Chains A and B, each alone.
Chain A
Amino acid sequence: QITLRESGPTLLKPTETLTLTCTFSGFSITSSPVGVGWIRQAPGKALEWLAVIYWDGDRRYSPSLRSRVIISKDTSRNQVVLTMFNMDPVDTATYYCARRPNYHDMSGTFDYWGQGSLVSVSS
C-alpha cells in the first residue's frame, strides 16, 4: 500500500522559511524511474506544480519559484523535503506531496497523493 503524508508548520510569518516533509511508504525513491513532487493549491486557486526530485537526484523546479525553492530527499528515512524561502502571504496554500511513478512518461502523472498540509503566512 502506497501512502504519503505531509508534515510541517501550519503558520509562518512573512520572510520566514518553510520546511515541509513528505514521509512515504510502499515504494522506494531509489528505484528508477520514480520521483516525488510537491504541488500546492492556494484558496480558490488552481493546482500549482512546484518541484519534483527523482530517484537519481535529478531535480526539476517551477520556473516561477526556482529562486526560492529547494527539494531534497533522505532515502534512508523515505522522506522528501521542500524548502521555500522568503514566505509571503500569497504563499498561503495547502501543500501536497505526490508520487511521480515514471520520469519517462508522456503526461507528468502523479498517481498517489498525500492529504495535504495547510500553511498560512501572516504577520
Chain B
Amino acid sequence: SSELSQDPSVSVALGQTVRITCQGDSLRNYYASWYQKKPGQAPVLVISDKNTRPSGISDRFSASNSGNVATLTITGTQAEDEGDYYCLSRDSSGTHSPFGGGTTLTVL
C-alpha cells in the first residue's frame, strides 16, 4: 500500500516535546521526509532523507523510524513551530511518493 496515515491534530505546551507520527507499509523499507506548512507559505523541508536535518533547520527537529512508523520529534517546542506537518515517502515500487494526510500542531 502507498498510504501514509497521520493523526489530524496534536497539541503541545510551549517548551515541551511533541511527537508526530506517520504510519504506512512503505515505511518498513523507506524513510519519511517531513515538511512544515504554514498558511500562505510554501512547505519547508525540516527532515530530509534518512532522518537528516537540512542546513538551517533548528536542532529541535529530529526523526526516527520503527517498523512501519516514522516519528517527527520537536523538543522545546516554540510558538513558531505551529503549523501543519506532512510526511512523505516512497511506495514499495518506488514509483509514487504519497504525502500523509497532515497533522496540525497547536502550541499552547
Chain A residues proximal to chain B, CB less than 8 Å: 39, 41, 46-49, 52, 60-63, 96, 98, 102, 105-111, 113-116
B104 to chain A, nearest CB (A): 11
Quick one: CB contact mask for B14-51 with A, threshold 8 Å, 1 for yes?
Answer: 00000000000000001111010100001111001110
CA A48 – CA B96 in complex, angstroms? 11
CA A52 – CA B88 in complex, angstroms? 14
The total of Cβ contacts below 8 Å across the A-B interface reads 75
B22 to chain A, nearest CB (A): 11
Interface residues on B, range: 20 to 34
> Restricting to B71-108, which residues have a CB under 8 Å from any CB of A?
86, 88-90, 95-102
> Which residue in A63, A113, A115 is a CB contact (below 8 Å) of B96?
A63
Q: Name the CB-closest residue of B to A102.
A: B49
Q: Which residues of B contact A96 (CB under 8 A)?
A: 42-43
Chain B residues proximal to chain A, CB less than 8 Å: 30-33, 35, 37, 42-45, 48-50, 54, 86, 88-90, 95-102
A95 to chain B, nearest CB (A): 11
Q: Name the CB-closest residue of B to A114.
A: B42
> Which residue in A39, A46, A60 is a CB contact (below 8 Å) of B101?
A46
CA A41 – CA B86 in complex, angstroms? 12
